Structure formats: C-alpha cells, structure tokens
C-alpha cells in the first residue's frame, strides 16, 4: 500500500467517526508516515505506517500514556484497555476503522 493510500484510509475513517477530529500529518517521508487524530473524548490516537516494512501501529494516548493499542510488530497483536503492556495475538490484521470502533464501544 502506498503512503497516500494509507493516509486516505485514515482520513476517511476519522472524518466519518463521531469521536475523531481531522487527522494531522506529523511526519511524512517517501517510506513512512506518522499521523495524530485528536478525539472529542479525551486524548488522541497516534498512527504509524512504514511502506517498506509494512509496519502499522495504532495507539490511544490519554494523559501521556498508551491506554490501548494494536500493531503488527512480530505479528498482529493488541494492547488491551485493562493492561496495555500485554500483547494479545490477533488472528487477522486490525484496520484503523476497527481500532476506532473498539474505542467508541469502550
């Protein structure tokens, strides 16, 4: 997936969500992008994608701490709300849309 395609997916999901503000591109290079989406609740979501390694990471940050996350470093896994230091394996990839839905439903 290209950087532009990944960015488009993030914007599409965020703009259709009741809890997300407009995404901010924090850093972009030919191979990677970092975005931040502030939430109408509390905190923000940091998003990372590297085209060369296919690495994807989503992290919900509140009061400076990750309180929920998902990434594919070493295989897709979840960092759950009750203990974000855990790594719970996922059988399939987590999309940004799925990540936002989990936050909305929490």
Q: Which tokens in the block code for residue 91?
A: 């059988």
User: Within 10 Å of residue 11's Cβ, how many Cβ atoms?
Assistant: 17
The span from the CA of 41 to the CA of 89, in Å, is 27
Digitized pLDDT (tens) for each residue of the chain, 106 residues in all? 999 999 999 999 999 999 999 999 999 999 999 999 999 989 999 999 999 999 999 999 999 999 999 999 999 999 999 999 999 999 999 999 999 999 999 9
Backbone torsions φ then ψ of 104, nearest 5 degrees: -60, -35
**pTM for the full predicted model:** 0.96
Q: Which residue has the tokens 């972009």?
A: 28
b/e code 71-86 from CB counts within 10 Å (16+ = b): beeeebbbbbeeebee
């Amino acid at each position: 997936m290209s950087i532009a395609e990944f960015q488009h997916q993030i914007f599409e999901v965020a703009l259709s969500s009741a809890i997300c503000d407009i995404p901010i591109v924090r850093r972009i290079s030919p191979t990677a992008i970092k975005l931040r989406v502030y939430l109408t609740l509390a905190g923000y979501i940091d998003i990372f994608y590297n085209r060369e390694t296919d690495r994807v990471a989503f992290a919900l940050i509140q009061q400076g701490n990750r309180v929920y996350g998902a990434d594919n470093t070493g295989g897709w896994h979840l960092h759950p709300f009750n203990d974000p230091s855990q790594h719970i394996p996922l059988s399939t990839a987590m999309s940004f849309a799925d990540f936002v839905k989990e936050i909305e439903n929490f």
